[in-house]
Structure 1
Amino acid sequence: MNLVRTAMLIAFMTALFMGVGYMIGGAGGMMIALVIALAMNAFSYWNSDKMVLRMHNAVEVDRKNAPEYFGIVEALVERSGLPMPKVYLIKNDQPNAFATGRNPDNAAVAATTGLLERLSREEVAGVMAHELAHIQNRDTLIMTITATLAGAISMLGNFALFFGGSRNNNSPFGFVGVLLAMIVAPFAAMIVQMAISRTREYSADRRGAEICGNPEWLASALAKIAAAAGRHVNVSAENNPATAHMFIINPLNGQRADNLFSTHPDTENRIRALMAMAGEMDREPEPVRGRPREQPPAQPARRGSSGVPKTGDRQWGRGSDDDQGPWG
């Protein structure tokens, strides 16, 4: 079913791309747009993950230079039954994460330094389990291709005036067609991105909670990430807004409402769903630990005044003197 949905989405985005070409340059412009779209679809299938990682200056890490972070992902992979993805680190103060790749055998997960510094071990496990759920659900291909095509459509719309502003252009709609290409096309691409992200986040939340073993870990992480996202600007995401729907929490400032114009479901709604799931679970979760060294058992979750669970006080890079963080 996901394969059919992916094919339908790619077809729709291709048609939208061709429509922009038609509004700008008529039949000739449409054919040029078709050739470009086909080339981009082929290129995106094999390279969109690398493009997204490069956009955000992600650096691949391993057990040697990021033992705890890598170890947690490794432990979660064993529990999920997935192949081990590549693990990336993004130097950014905003706590956030995303997954990418065309299939589970060619996947990658990426987390920001802000995520590792501000969240506890259990919360990091919840976030990375959510990203592994996207990989297992095969969401990553459709999300990365959509990001690539939506960015191209937006760029074509932004340059519509330059390419189609001449009175001698072949647009059947004239200058009105150029204006439509400038305004409608990026907006339509944005709506598609929103619909994709919003319908898939709840499913990834639930599966991620199953993988890590405790929905409250992810619920607590979502609350912390949402609270910090507005205080820390994610420059690479602001420069590449077409990738915003890939993150676990919207990295762009000022978009938190659960409505048609939000790239993500409302965080409070996601937390409530996770807490309801926690109430349904009748077994104790197995703590997720990194392999490099033994860690004390996770402290039981404590509920705060807002109802959001609180995990142990240990933070990445804020522990004892011999704790050098996930990358040291």
Structure 2
Amino acid sequence: MQSRFRSDRRLTARMGLTLFLLGLLYVGFVAALIVLLKSWLLVVVLIGAMFVAQFWFSDRIAMFAMRGRVVEREEYPELHAVVDRLCAIADMPKPVVAVSEMGMPNAFATGRSPDHAVVCVTTGLLRRLEPAELEGVLAHELSHVAHKDVAVITIASFLGVIAGLIVRFAFYSQLFGGRRDQNTAVVFAAVMGVSAAVYAISFLLIRALSRYRELAADRAAAHLTGRPSALASALTKVTGDIARIPTEDLRTAQAFNAFYFTPAAGREPGIERFFSTHPTLQQRLEQLGRISAELGEAATPGTAG
């Protein structure tokens, strides 16, 4: 079913291009592994099994990793009411609603399709945001579901995950595996080299797509709610609160930055913004400021223009 979230052809085109390029990379990667390991059946079975596991169970893995749990209407009636209202406006299926017992204010969406999706908010977010701000954040997450970019990121991330695991396995095997003959050492080095290159290329492609999809979700949420200033206020508030959390307390959460509404970062990125999962706060606020002007909304503190 087509939702009423604004269609974003540029987002669709970027997702298609990213998947196409990663598909070419994937074919080359599998071919290289088959040549190096001399067993096409082993390579295809292992990679196929891991892909199926990641695609079908990505929502459960994310929920477990980020301590999320499904909550019923009786427990969080106001949260369910906001999701119900936004889904009715957007004409889309209601996702499963979950809450994570984390003090860090944030939210994320996961799932392989709009019919099998989860939207989760942390207790830290619920404590800090006003109703209009919470609505903006939830509209942002629902946009990810409606545009199917959650599933695309899950699929796109698969190749990098596999390559990273192979590099790690090869490294520890070389470290603890004892002595090997020269041919075996050459194969290991070749596998590590190919996997490292694939990981680096897929990392950059996915990060570029991830930054754009966050801007696209901000745009869609602002137009759906008609209150870009509320989303800008939520962004400013959440980013500021996260910046005050000690870096050591953020390290665990940083592994899941691609899922979050705003990254678990202690400061705004410098040159590393080119490797970030999210655009800078300034870029997001400037975009929301332009949308606010287009809609004729009165500017509020936290909205950049």
- TM-score range with shorter-chain normalisation? 0.7 to 0.9
| Partner Cα separation in structure 2 for residue 182 and residue 7 of structure 1 | 18
1:326 aligns to what? none
Contact kept in structure 1, 2:282 and 2:304, CA below 8 Å: no
After superposition, the CA RMSD in angstroms is 3.1
Contact kept in structure 2, 1:223 and 1:308, CA below 8 Å: no
Contact kept in structure 2, 1:89 and 1:113, CA below 8 Å: yes
Residue identity over aligned pairs, in percent, reads 29
TM-aligned CA deviation for residue 44 of structure 1 = 2.3
| Partner Cα separation in structure 1 for residue 150 and residue 101 of structure 2 | 22
TM score, norm. by length of structure 1: 0.75
Quick one: structure 1 residues 197 and 36, their matched pair in 2 at CA, closer, same or farther if it must change by over 3 Å? Answer: same
| Partner Cα separation in structure 1 for residue 139 and residue 228 of structure 2 | 10
Q: Map 1:10-25 onto structure 2 (within 5 A).
A: 11-12=23-24, 14-15=26-27, 18=30, 21=33
2:119 match: secondary structure? strand
Q: Which has the higher contact order (CA 8 A, sep 6+)?
A: 1
Quick one: structure 1 residues 274 and 155, their matched pair in 2 at CA, closer, same or farther if it must change by over 3 Å? Answer: same
2:258 aligns to what? 245
1:289 aligns to what? none
TM-aligned CA deviation for residue 236 of structure 1 = 4.4
Quick one: structure 1 residues 103 and 160, their matched pair in 2 at CA, closer, same or farther if it must change by over 3 Å? Answer: same
Structure showing the higher helix proportion among its residues: 2
Quick one: structure 1 residues 179 and 151, their matched pair in 2 at CA, closer, same or farther if it must change by over 3 Å? Answer: closer
Q: 1:162 aligns with which of 172, 184, 191?
A: 172
Contact kept in structure 2, 1:147 and 1:193, CA below 8 Å: yes
Q: Deviations over 1:238-287 (max 9, x none)?
A: 4xx2x3212121124456347321111111111110111011014x7xxx
2:3 aligns to what? none
Q: Deviations over 1:267-310 (max 9, x none)?
A: 1111110111011014x7xxxxxxxxxxxxxxxx7733x6559x
1:190 aligns to what? 203
1:260 aligns to what? 274
- Is 1:271 the equivalent of 2:268? no
| Partner Cα separation in structure 1 for residue 30 and residue 268 of structure 2 | 30
| Partner Cα separation in structure 1 for residue 72 and residue 251 of structure 2 | 25
- Is 1:8 the equivalent of 2:20? yes
1:111 match: secondary structure? strand
Contact kept in structure 2, 1:73 and 1:128, CA below 8 Å: yes
TM-aligned CA deviation for residue 193 of structure 1 = 2.7
| Partner Cα separation in structure 2 for residue 20 and residue 112 of structure 1 | 42
Q: Deviation above 6 Å: which 4+ runs of structure 1?
A: none
Q: List alignment gaps of at least 5 residues for structure 1.
A: 285-300, 310-328
Q: Deviations over 1:196-228 (max 9, x none)?
A: 211211111111112222111111111112212
Q: Map 1:1-328 onto structure 2 (within 5 A).
A: 4-5=16-17, 8=20, 11-12=23-24, 14-15=26-27, 18=30, 21=33, 26-28=36-38, 32-164=42-174, 167-168=180-181, 173-174=186-187, 176-177=189-190, 180=193, 183-232=196-245, 233-234=249-250, 236-238=252-254, 241=255, 243-253=256-266, 256-257=269-270, 259-282=273-296, 303-304=300-301, 307=303
AA aligned opposite 1:208: A
| Partner Cα separation in structure 2 for residue 230 and residue 78 of structure 1 | 34
| Partner Cα separation in structure 1 for residue 105 and residue 61 of structure 2 | 21
| Partner Cα separation in structure 1 for residue 154 and residue 96 of structure 2 | 16
Could you tell which deviates more after superposition, 33-42 or 46-55? 33-42
Q: List alignment gaps of at least 5 residues for structure 2.
A: 1-11
